[in-house]
Amino acid sequence: TREHFPTKVETEDRFTRMLDELAREREAQDRKWAEQKAEDKRKWEEQNRKWEESNRRFDEVHREIMAQSKKLDRSIGALGSRWGLQSEKAFRDALAGILVESFGVEVVNVNEFDAEGTVFGRPDQIELDIIIKNGSLIICELKSSVDKPAMYTFERKVRFYERRHRRQANRMIVVSPMIDHRARRVGEKLGIEMYPDSLDVPVT
Protein backbone atom coordinates (compact mmCIF):
# COMPACT_ATOMS: atom_id res chain seq x y z
CA THR A 1 0.00 0.00 0.00
CA ARG A 2 1.02 3.51 -0.63
CA GLU A 3 1.92 5.50 2.52
CA HIS A 4 -0.36 8.53 3.01
CA PHE A 5 1.19 11.90 3.77
CA PRO A 6 -0.98 14.81 4.91
CA THR A 7 -1.63 17.31 2.25
CA LYS A 8 -0.89 20.98 2.70
CA VAL A 9 -4.56 21.70 3.28
CA GLU A 10 -4.86 18.97 5.92
CA THR A 11 -1.76 20.24 7.67
CA GLU A 12 -3.05 23.81 7.69
CA ASP A 13 -6.43 22.63 9.02
CA ARG A 14 -4.72 20.73 11.81
CA PHE A 15 -2.64 23.74 12.82
CA THR A 16 -5.71 25.94 12.63
CA ARG A 17 -7.60 23.62 14.98
CA MET A 18 -4.64 23.54 17.37
CA LEU A 19 -4.38 27.33 17.33
CA ASP A 20 -8.13 27.67 17.88
CA GLU A 21 -7.97 25.26 20.80
CA LEU A 22 -5.03 27.14 22.31
CA ALA A 23 -6.90 30.41 21.83
CA ARG A 24 -9.99 29.00 23.58
CA GLU A 25 -7.86 27.72 26.45
CA ARG A 26 -6.17 31.11 26.69
CA GLU A 27 -9.54 32.89 26.73
CA ALA A 28 -10.82 30.52 29.39
CA GLN A 29 -7.70 31.11 31.47
CA ASP A 30 -8.02 34.88 31.00
CA ARG A 31 -11.65 34.71 32.17
CA LYS A 32 -10.59 32.75 35.25
CA TRP A 33 -7.88 35.30 36.02
CA ALA A 34 -10.32 38.18 35.50
CA GLU A 35 -12.92 36.52 37.73
CA GLN A 36 -10.31 35.81 40.40
CA LYS A 37 -9.04 39.38 40.18
CA ALA A 38 -12.58 40.77 40.47
CA GLU A 39 -13.27 38.48 43.44
CA ASP A 40 -10.04 39.56 45.15
CA LYS A 41 -10.94 43.21 44.53
CA ARG A 42 -14.45 42.68 45.94
CA LYS A 43 -13.06 40.99 49.05
CA TRP A 44 -10.49 43.75 49.50
CA GLU A 45 -13.12 46.48 49.14
CA GLU A 46 -15.40 44.64 51.56
CA GLN A 47 -12.56 44.38 54.07
CA ASN A 48 -11.81 48.09 53.63
CA ARG A 49 -15.47 48.89 54.29
CA LYS A 50 -15.35 46.79 57.45
CA TRP A 51 -12.18 48.57 58.59
CA GLU A 52 -13.70 51.98 57.85
CA GLU A 53 -16.91 51.07 59.70
CA SER A 54 -14.89 49.78 62.64
CA ASN A 55 -12.83 52.99 62.72
CA ARG A 56 -15.98 55.11 62.45
CA ARG A 57 -17.63 53.28 65.34
CA PHE A 58 -14.45 53.58 67.40
CA ASP A 59 -14.36 57.34 66.74
CA GLU A 60 -18.04 57.67 67.72
CA VAL A 61 -17.50 55.75 70.95
CA HIS A 62 -14.40 57.80 71.70
CA ARG A 63 -16.26 61.08 71.13
CA GLU A 64 -19.13 59.89 73.31
CA ILE A 65 -16.74 58.87 76.10
CA MET A 66 -14.98 62.24 75.91
CA ALA A 67 -18.32 64.09 75.91
CA GLN A 68 -19.50 62.16 78.96
CA SER A 69 -16.17 62.81 80.65
CA LYS A 70 -16.52 66.54 80.04
CA LYS A 71 -20.09 66.43 81.36
CA LEU A 72 -18.81 64.77 84.51
CA ASP A 73 -16.13 67.44 84.83
CA ARG A 74 -18.80 70.14 84.55
CA SER A 75 -20.99 68.40 87.12
CA ILE A 76 -18.04 68.33 89.49
CA GLY A 77 -17.46 72.00 88.66
CA ALA A 78 -21.09 72.69 89.51
CA LEU A 79 -20.56 71.17 92.93
CA GLY A 80 -17.46 73.31 93.30
CA SER A 81 -19.44 76.43 92.41
CA ARG A 82 -22.20 75.52 94.83
CA TRP A 83 -19.77 75.11 97.70
CA GLY A 84 -17.68 78.13 96.81
CA LEU A 85 -14.71 76.23 95.37
CA GLN A 86 -15.20 77.72 91.91
CA SER A 87 -16.80 80.98 90.89
CA GLU A 88 -20.29 80.91 89.37
CA LYS A 89 -18.99 83.09 86.55
CA ALA A 90 -16.33 80.52 85.61
CA PHE A 91 -18.98 77.82 85.46
CA ARG A 92 -21.28 80.04 83.36
CA ASP A 93 -18.43 80.88 80.97
CA ALA A 94 -17.70 77.16 80.50
CA LEU A 95 -21.32 76.39 79.59
CA ALA A 96 -21.52 79.38 77.24
CA GLY A 97 -18.27 78.31 75.57
CA ILE A 98 -19.75 74.90 74.77
CA LEU A 99 -22.77 76.51 73.08
CA VAL A 100 -20.47 78.67 70.97
CA GLU A 101 -18.17 75.78 70.03
CA SER A 102 -20.82 73.12 69.42
CA PHE A 103 -23.54 75.13 67.69
CA GLY A 104 -21.73 78.14 66.23
CA VAL A 105 -23.95 80.64 68.04
CA GLU A 106 -22.98 83.82 69.83
CA VAL A 107 -23.87 83.95 73.50
CA VAL A 108 -24.19 87.57 74.62
CA ASN A 109 -24.11 88.31 78.32
CA VAL A 110 -26.57 91.16 78.98
CA ASN A 111 -26.29 93.18 82.18
CA GLU A 112 -28.96 95.86 82.63
CA PHE A 113 -30.29 97.87 85.55
CA ASP A 114 -33.84 97.28 86.74
CA ALA A 115 -34.64 100.71 88.18
CA GLU A 116 -38.24 99.79 89.05
CA GLY A 117 -37.30 96.65 90.95
CA THR A 118 -39.67 94.42 88.99
CA VAL A 119 -37.39 91.38 89.24
CA PHE A 120 -36.03 91.42 92.80
CA GLY A 121 -38.51 93.81 94.41
CA ARG A 122 -35.89 96.54 94.55
CA PRO A 123 -33.62 98.27 91.99
CA ASP A 124 -30.79 95.94 91.00
CA GLN A 125 -28.63 94.69 88.13
CA ILE A 126 -30.21 92.04 85.90
CA GLU A 127 -27.95 89.56 84.13
CA LEU A 128 -29.05 87.30 81.28
CA ASP A 129 -27.50 85.30 78.45
CA ILE A 130 -28.97 86.01 75.03
CA ILE A 131 -28.67 83.88 71.88
CA ILE A 132 -29.81 85.12 68.46
CA LYS A 133 -30.16 82.20 66.02
CA ASN A 134 -31.84 82.57 62.60
CA GLY A 135 -33.80 85.57 63.85
CA SER A 136 -35.03 83.76 66.97
CA LEU A 137 -34.43 85.21 70.43
CA ILE A 138 -33.35 82.62 73.00
CA ILE A 139 -32.86 83.73 76.60
CA CYS A 140 -30.76 81.46 78.80
CA GLU A 141 -29.85 80.96 82.41
CA LEU A 142 -26.53 79.14 82.81
CA LYS A 143 -25.99 78.17 86.44
CA SER A 144 -24.36 75.47 88.52
CA SER A 145 -27.61 74.87 90.43
CA VAL A 146 -31.20 76.11 90.22
CA ASP A 147 -33.79 76.02 93.00
CA LYS A 148 -37.47 76.96 92.92
CA PRO A 149 -37.01 80.70 93.67
CA ALA A 150 -34.26 80.93 91.03
CA MET A 151 -36.62 79.51 88.40
CA TYR A 152 -39.26 82.15 89.19
CA THR A 153 -36.55 84.83 89.17
CA PHE A 154 -35.37 83.75 85.72
CA GLU A 155 -38.90 84.04 84.35
CA ARG A 156 -39.18 87.57 85.78
CA LYS A 157 -35.82 88.45 84.20
CA VAL A 158 -37.12 87.31 80.82
CA ARG A 159 -40.28 89.42 81.15
CA PHE A 160 -38.15 92.41 82.19
CA TYR A 161 -36.00 92.02 79.06
CA GLU A 162 -39.05 91.60 76.82
CA ARG A 163 -40.69 94.78 78.13
CA ARG A 164 -37.51 96.83 77.90
CA HIS A 165 -36.62 95.72 74.36
CA ARG A 166 -40.20 95.24 73.14
CA ARG A 167 -39.43 91.81 71.81
CA GLN A 168 -40.79 88.46 72.92
CA ALA A 169 -38.42 85.58 73.56
CA ASN A 170 -38.97 82.56 71.33
CA ARG A 171 -37.48 80.21 73.90
CA MET A 172 -36.51 80.28 77.58
CA ILE A 173 -33.77 77.84 78.52
CA VAL A 174 -32.17 76.89 81.82
CA VAL A 175 -28.94 74.88 81.65
CA SER A 176 -27.81 73.40 84.94
CA PRO A 177 -26.60 69.97 86.09
CA MET A 178 -28.47 70.44 89.37
CA ILE A 179 -32.10 71.51 89.04
CA ASP A 180 -34.20 70.99 92.13
CA HIS A 181 -37.29 68.83 91.52
CA ARG A 182 -39.53 71.64 92.78
CA ALA A 183 -37.80 74.06 90.41
CA ARG A 184 -38.36 71.60 87.58
CA ARG A 185 -42.11 71.61 88.19
CA VAL A 186 -42.09 75.42 88.12
CA GLY A 187 -40.09 75.42 84.90
CA GLU A 188 -42.54 73.07 83.22
CA LYS A 189 -45.45 75.28 84.30
CA LEU A 190 -43.75 78.44 82.97
CA GLY A 191 -42.75 76.87 79.65
CA ILE A 192 -39.02 76.91 80.40
CA GLU A 193 -36.81 74.32 78.70
CA MET A 194 -34.39 72.64 81.11
CA TYR A 195 -31.19 70.79 80.26
CA PRO A 196 -28.41 69.34 82.43
CA ASP A 197 -25.62 70.35 80.05
CA SER A 198 -24.98 72.73 77.15
CA LEU A 199 -24.37 69.79 74.78
CA ASP A 200 -27.97 68.67 75.36
CA VAL A 201 -29.48 71.96 74.15
CA PRO A 202 -31.08 71.70 70.68
CA VAL A 203 -30.10 75.05 69.17
CA THR A 204 -31.78 75.06 65.74
Residues 4 and 20 in one domain: yes
Alpha carbon distance 137, 60 (integer Å): 32
Residues 103 and 158 in one domain: yes
Q: Please give the residue range of the domain that contains residue 77.
A: 1-86
Alpha carbon distance 161, 138 (integer Å): 11
Among 114, 116, 188, CA closest to 148: 188
- pTM score above 0.75: no
pLDDT, tens digit (0-9, with 9 covering 90-100), for 44-93: 888 888 888 877 776 776 576 556 555 545 554 544 444 343 456 666 77
> For the chain, what is the domain count?
2
Kindly state the helix (H) or strand (E) to which residue 16 belongs, with its residue range.
helix 8-82
Query: Rounded mean pLDDT of the chain?
Result: 78
